[in-house]
Amino acid sequence: MAGSKHPQESRVEMTQLVLPAHTNAIGTIFGGQIMAWIDTAAAICSFRHSRKMCVTASMDALNFISPVKQGDIVILQANVNYTGRSSMEIGVKVTSENSITGEKKKTARAYLTFVALDDKGKPVEIAQILPQNEQEKTWYQEGKERRLKRP
Ligand SMILES: CC(C)(COP(=O)(O)OP(=O)(O)OC[C@H]1O[C@@H](n2cnc3c(N)ncnc32)[C@H](O)[C@@H]1OP(=O)(O)O)[C@@H](O)C(=O)NCCC(=O)NCCS
């Protein structure tokens, strides 16, 4: 048995500044850059939860809700929503913050599945997630439902 852990033990908040190299000709960020940051935040979250090497198995549909501009701050918050035997669903919420006014906007939300691997690269059992508060219990239930719908 790999035991159990609370979501707070692996939660990640990652903050980035949108630089010229991250943007296109009209000064808004490349979607792929946000995807890379989402993957990184989720990967750190999976390592903290499992304390194993983990790989991205899938990312569900990703919708960009509002544009992010050069000079904005991007905040990525990652949380383990649900765990299987070796896999975990990680939800990442992306918010942009105007550096001057402080105005915050929802930018994207993504759900990723990471799989923990053993020394031979085979999926290995991980700690089960133990949701504690109402929000975590809701995320757990929703994660479980999404898992049942995935191919
Ligand atoms: C992810 C990977 C390790 C799964 O290996 P596998 O031999 O198919 O493993 P299994 O069939 O035993 O499944 C292991 C777990 O992964 C989950 N899984 C496998 N493929 C999945 C997918 N595409 N999406 C979501 N979960 C997936 C299974 O549901 C299972 O979960 P559980 O243990 O919690 O029940 C393997 O497909 C892989 O290495 N993929 C490449 C990962 C990678 O390189 N990612 C970086 C980007 S290319």
pTM recorded for the entire structure: 0.96
pLDDT band at 151 (very low <50, low <70, confident <90, very high): confident
Which protein residue's CA is at the shortest distance from atom 44 of ligand 1?
55
CB 114 within 8 A of CB 46: yes
Q: Which of 39, 113, 115 to mutate to test the pocket of ligand 1 (most atoms within 8 A of CB)?
A: 115
Confidence class of residue 124 from pLDDT cuts 50, 70 and 90? very high
pLDDT band at 2; cut points 50, 70, 90: confident
State the average pLDDT over residues 120-129.
Answer: 98
Q: In whole angstroms, what is the distance from residue 20 CA to residue 43 CA? A: 25
Instruction: Tell the residue nearest (CA) to atom 47 of ligand 1.
Output: 56
Q: Whose CA is nearest to atom 11 of ligand 1?
A: 123
Portion of the chain with pLDDT greater than 90, in percent:
96
Query: What domains sit in the chain, N to C, each tagged with a CATH number?
Result: 4-149 (3.10.129.10)
Q: State the chain's maximal CA–CA distance in angstroms.
A: 52
pLDDT at res. 109: 96
Residue 131, both tokens: 């949701």
Q: Please give the distance, rounded to the nearest whole angstrom, from the Cα atom of residue 14 to the centre of ligand 1.
A: 25
Which residue did the predictor score with more confidence, 86 or 61?
86
Residue 142: partners with Cβ closer than 8 Å, 6 or more residues away = 81
Distances (CA, A) of 144 to 70, 87, 91, 150: 37, 12, 12, 10
From the CB of 71, is ligand 1 less than 6 Å away?
Answer: no
Our answer on whether the CB atom of 56 is closer than 6 Å to any ligand 1 atom is yes
Q: What are phi and psi of 9, to 5 degrees?
A: -70, -20
57 CA from centroid of ligand 1 (Å): 5
Phi, psi of 26 (to 5 degrees): -105, 15
The predicted-structure confidence for 127-138, as pLDDT tens digits, reads as follows 999 999 999 999
What are the residues whose beta carbons fall under 8 Å from the beta carbon of 100, sequence distance 6 or more? none
